[in-house]
């Protein structure tokens, strides 16, 4: 089995990424690439890995869905009492990773994270299907539960009480990452990949540099 894993590889031949090709603003480049991913009909194009680290320095990572982005940052929603919510309360910094395998592309976005307000949380929560509202109201995210049956019964009880919309848990809300660095990765032949990184300079202007693969 070890030999089989060691020998798993494929060649990257999709495209190139040069300093001349890349947008001057990293948000514009993100919009370009996510648009191309959507055009390619990639499933779960907004799925992103969210990496956090708690007060003890223990890193954790999971997949969440991007729910909004603009010049101020990238947002998603979750339960603030969850493992990621507690980690962000203790250490409000994170990194996002988008991986579109079909295009041999990755985007890393690093920065500080802030909590969104209750109005934004309500707006998104009540835009979701009722079943998703009920699931969020049922689950005390990341906490142990005795059985699947217990969880399902709690859901059924809430569904009987709330046939139009479910109550948003007070701990459930949104987060926004304010970017301080971006990296755009394009797979290339022979593992000599393209990596272009954006960072802000002393005047808060974005500067791009090529990184070795």
Among all residues, which ones are annotated catalytic? 191
User: What are the Cα distances from residue 84, in Å, to 24, 61, 63, 77, 94?
Assistant: 32, 8, 11, 11, 10
CA dihedral 155, 158, 160, 166 (to 10 degrees): -120
User: What are the Cα distances from residue 63, in Å, to 26, 60, 170, 199?
Assistant: 22, 11, 23, 25
Give me 19's structure tokens: 């300093």
Ramachandran quadrant class, 104 (left: phi over 0; alpha: psi -120 to 50; beta: rest): left
User: What are the Cα distances from residue 6, in Å, to 9, 51, 156, 193?
Assistant: 8, 26, 47, 20
d(CA 97, CA 67): 14
């Amino acid at each position: 089995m070890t030999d089989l894993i060691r020998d798993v590889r494929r060649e990257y031949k999709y495209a190139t990424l040069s300093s001349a090709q890349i947008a001057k603003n990293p948000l514009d480049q993100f919009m370009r690439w996510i648009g191309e991913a959507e055009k390619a009909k990639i499933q779960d194009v907004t799925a992103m890995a969210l990496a956090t680290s708690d007060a003890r320095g223990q890193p954790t990572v999971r997949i969440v869905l991007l729910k909004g982005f603009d010049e101020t940052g990238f947002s998603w929603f979750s339960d603030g009492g969850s493992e990621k919510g507690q980690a962000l309360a203790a250490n409000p910094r994170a990194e996002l990773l988008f991986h579109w395998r079909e295009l041999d592309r990755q985007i890393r976005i690093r920065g500080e994270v802030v909590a969104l307000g209750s109005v934004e949380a309500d707006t998104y929560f009540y835009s979701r299907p009722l079943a998703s509202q009920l699931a969020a109201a049922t689950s005390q995210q990341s906490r142990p539960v005795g059985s699947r049956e217990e969880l399902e019964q709690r859901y059924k009880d809430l569904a009987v009480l709330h046939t139009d919309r479910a109550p948003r848990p007070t701990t459930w809300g949104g987060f926004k990452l304010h970017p301080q660095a971006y990296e755009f990765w394009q797979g290339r032949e022979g593992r000599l990949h393209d990596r272009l990184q954006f960072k802000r300079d002393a005047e808060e202007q974005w500067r791009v540099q090529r990184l070795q693969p």
